[in-house]
Amino acid sequence: MTFMKKSGCLLAVCCLALLAAACSQDTKSTQPIHTSATPLPEWRSGYRIYVTNETSGDLSVIDGTTNDVLATVPLGKRPRGIHASPDQRTIYIALSGSPPAPPGVDESTLPPPDKSADGIGVFDVEQNKLLRVIQGGSDPENFDVSLDGSTLFVSNEDISSASFIEVASGKLTETIRVGEEPEGVKLSPDGKEVYVTAEADSSIAVIDIAARKLAASFKVGRRPRNIVFLPDGSRGYVNAENDGTIVLFDAVKKQKIQDIQLGKPGEIKPMGLALSPDAKKLYVSTGRGRKVFVIDTVTNQPIASFEVGQRPWGIAVSPDGKTLYTANGPSNDVSVIDIESQTVVKKIKVGASPWGVEIIGRGY
């Protein structure tokens, strides 16, 4: 993330230069350095948890029944955002060569970004193997996948844009300007629109996929990050990190409905979002707040909160709705939480700085 303000002129020049580079680069798929598969037990039922580890640059594969780490697969630099394809046979991972920029760090003192490391990794679930890296975008952190699995929608934080990338060819087919410092990307349930949060603009940009243009933009709250939709697509939720709120918005009218206050701004910083399988509850990780909040999606009020670990970020719910998982960056582990009792039943050691969590089920 970018935390230091840049001068207007410098930002404009840099953005134009980076945008030109991103659009002109060779966007064909390339073979990664690490391609060897790790044999895993036969898998016909149950589920597995996949965790990106930002600092160690790898992927932890966890058995959802035993909570054992089955494999650790090298990926590339700074793996963060992670999403499964609609058929759950492929996992995509955002990779970035830009150095981390924590709060208060002067970016001019950081090493230059390695743009050759930017891209989306393509991981085969059955082979447990990174097949290739689609080179495209600029400092990609998050993305989503079209309903037919043919296109990736990627936020480019460095250049305030979102890109359309064709999975089969690896070609970047469209780049659309959005708000400043885009991060979260979410496809609408009907697959017709892509929503992109802009941290510095406190807004959400809505892209019409068929028209390939910006259709709307609306304000939500300070430093919005991630979005989830109710299944019917009528409403959505986005976290406003610096306000300590979850914002409920109307996805039809493209406007904010209400703030759901979780705590004092600065003390509670909502990060990851995950809906229960029945969409009746929204789970929110809070980073340095160490907690997960539970929101009733009918009343839109918090109904519970409980501690889960150090700086929980990525969050996911098991297919049966009984277990919650959070990626805890500083402690290099994943918390396994029994939802009924709201207690941590185990912490699983993974790689360095776990970031994103994705779950793939079989037989559900």
Mean pLDDT by runs of 10 across the 364 residues of the chain is: 42 41 42 55 90 98 97 97 97 94 76 92 96 89 97 93 96 96 97 98 98 98 98 98 98 98 92 98 96 98 98 97 98 98 98 98 86
User: What percent of the chain is predicted at pLDDT more than 70?
Assistant: 89
CB of 181 within 8 A of CB of 160?
A: yes
Q: Report the predicted TM-score, pTM, of the whole model to 2 decimal places.
A: 0.89
- Residue 220 pLDDT: 98
pLDDT in tens, 308-318: 999 999 999 99
What pLDDT shows up at residue 103?
64
The predicted structure's pLDDT at residue 37: 60
Q: Which pLDDT tens digit goes with each residue over 240-283?
A: 999 999 999 999 999 999 999 999 888 899 999 999 999 999 99
Whether the CB-CB separation of 324 and 337 falls below 8 Å is answered with yes
Tokens 């709307």: give the residue.
216
Walk across the sheet containing 354-362 and list its strands: 69-74, 58-63, 46-53, 354-362
Residue 181 Cα to chain centre, angstroms = 14
Fold of 77-100+115-219: Methylamine Dehydrogenase; Chain H (2.130.10)
DSSP codes of every residue in 72-95: EEE--S----EEE-TTSSEEEEEE
Q: Distance between CA atoms of 76 and 343, rounded to whole angstroms?
A: 34
Residue 160 in tokens: 């305030």
What is the separation of C-alpha 155 from the centre of its chain, rounded to a whole number of angstroms?
10
Strand, coil or helix: 307: strand
Residues 6+ apart with CB under 8 A from 18: 138, 158, 159
